[in-house]
A and B are shown apart, each in its own frame.
Chain A
Amino acid sequence: MAATSTPLDKSLPCLSAKGIGVVLLLTIAYGIVPLVGSSYLYEAILTPFLALSLAALGLNLLTGYAGQLSLGSSAFMAVGAYAAFNLSLRLPFLPLPATIVLAGLVAALAGLVAGLPALRLRGFYLAVSTLAVQFFVAWVLNRFSWLSNDSPSGIISAPPLVVAGLSFEDARGRYLFSLTVVTLLTVLAWRLVTSPTGRNFVAVRDNETAARVIGVKVARTKLLAFGLSSFIIGVAGVLWAFAYLRTVEPAGFNLDRSFQILFIVIIGGLGTLRGAFLGAGLIVVLPLLLSRFGAALLGDGFDSGTLEMCQRIVLGILIVAFLIREPAGLSALLDRAVRRLRPSA
Chain B
Amino acid sequence: MNPDLAFFVEVLVGGLLSGVMYALVAIGFVLIYKTSGVLNFAQGAMLLFAALTFVSLTERGVPFIGAFAATLAVMALLGLAIERAVLRPLVNQPPITLFMATLGVAYVIEGAAQLAWGTQVHGLDLGIDDTPIDLAGILVSRFDLFAAAVAGLMVAVLSLFFRYTRTGLAFRAVADDPLAALNTGLRLPRIWAAVWIASGIVALVAGLLWGARLGVQFSLSLVVLKALPVLVLGGFDSILGAIVAGLIVGAVEKLSEVYLGPVIGSGIEGWIAYVAALGFLLLKPSGLFGMRSVERV
Partners in one complex: yes
For A309, the chain B residues whose CB sits under 8 A away are 111-112, 114-115
Q: Which residues of A contact B95 (CB under 8 A)?
A: 123-124
Closest Cβ neighbor of A315 among chain B residues: B107
**Chain A stretch 167-197: residues in CB contact (< 8 A) with chain B:** none
Count contacts between A and B, CB distance < 8 Å. 132
A–B pairs, 9, beta carbons within 8 Å: A125-B232, A128-B228, A135-B270, A263-B100, A312-B110, A313-B108, A315-B107, A318-B104, A323-B97
Residues A69 and B96 in contact in the complex (CB < 8 Å), given A305-B119, A327-B90: yes
Question: Does A1 sit within 8 A of B, measured CB to CB?
Answer: yes
* A313 with B115, Cβ < 8 A, contacts A117-B278, A132-B271 known: yes
Interface pair A310/B115, CB less than 8 Å apart: yes
Given A129-B278, A312-B107, A313-B111, are A320 and B86 also a contact pair (CB < 8 Å)?
Answer: yes
B137 on the interface (CB 8 Å rule)? no
* 9 new A-B contacts at CB < 8 Å, known A122-B296, A131-B274, A316-B109: A2-B96, A120-B281, A120-B295, A139-B267, A263-B103, A305-B119, A309-B115, A324-B101, A327-B93
- B267: which of A132, A142, A255, A310 is its contact (CB, 8 Å)? A142
Q: Is the CB of A125 within 8 A of B294?
A: yes
The interface centre, meaning the residue of A128, A266, A317 with most chain B CB atoms within 10 A of its CB, is A128
Residues of A within 8 A of B (CB-CB), count = 44
Please report the C-alpha to C-alpha distance between residue A311 and residue B108 in the assembled complex, in whole angstroms: 9
Inside 8 A of A139's CB, which chain B residues have their CB? 265, 267-268, 270-271
Q: Tell me if B135 is interfacial: C-beta within 8 Å of chain A.
A: no
Q: What residues of A have a CB within 8 angstroms of the CB of B61 in the complex?
A: none
When C-beta atoms are compared, the residue in chain B nearest to A324 turns out to be B89
A317 touching B104 in the complex, CB below 8 Å, given contacts A117-B278, A125-B281, A143-B267: yes
For the complex of A and B, list the 4 residue pairs with the smallest distance between their C-beta atoms, beginning with the closest: A316-B107, A312-B111, A319-B104, A132-B274
B: residues with CB less than 8 A from A are 39, 85-86, 89-90, 93-97, 99-101, 103-112, 114-115, 119, 225, 228-229, 231-232, 236, 265, 267-268, 270-271, 274-275, 277-278, 281-282, 285, 294-297
- Asked whether, in the complex, the Cβ of A317 is within 8 Å of the Cβ of B108, the reply is yes
List chain A positions with a Cβ less than 8 A from chain B: 1-2, 63, 69, 117, 120-125, 127-129, 131-132, 135-136, 138-139, 142-143, 255, 259, 262-263, 266, 270, 305-306, 309-313, 315-320, 323-324, 327
Shortest distance from the beta carbon of A146 to any chain B beta carbon, whole Å = 13
Contact across chains for A319 and B103 when beta carbons are under 8 A apart: yes
CB-CB under 8 A from B281, the residues of chain A are 117, 120-121, 125, 129
Residue of B whose beta carbon sits closest to that of A328: B97
Pairwise interchain contact A121-B294, C-beta atoms closer than 8 A: yes
Report A-chain residues with C-beta under 8 Å of the C-beta of B275: 132, 136
Chain A residues within an 8 Å CB radius of B109: 316
Pick the contact of B100: A142, A266, A310 (CB < 8 A): A266
Q: For B232, what are the chain A residues with a Cβ–Cβ distance below 8 Å? A: 125, 128-129
Complex: A312 Cα to B45 Cα, angstroms? 13
Q: Are A128 and B231 in contact (CB under 8 A)?
A: yes
Q: Which residues of B contact A259 (CB under 8 A)?
A: 103
B107 adjacent to A319 (CB under 8 Å): yes
Closest-by-CB residue of B relative to A3 is B94
A319-B100 in contact (CB<8A): yes
Q: Which of B96, B101, B115, B267 has the most CB of A within 10 A?
A: B96
Residues from chain A with Cβ under 8 Å of B85 in the complex: 320
B-chain residues with CB within 8 Å of residue A138 when the two chains form the complex: 270
Determine if B267 and A323 form an interchain contact, defined as CB atoms under 8 angstroms apart. Answer: no
Name the residue of chain B whose CB is nearest to the CB of A318.
Answer: B104
With beta carbons under 8 angstroms apart, the residue of B96, B106, B231, B278 that contacts A132 is B278
- On whether the beta carbons of A320 and B96 are closer than 8 Å, the reply is no
Contact status of A135 and B114, CB under 8 A, knowing A128-B231, A317-B104: no
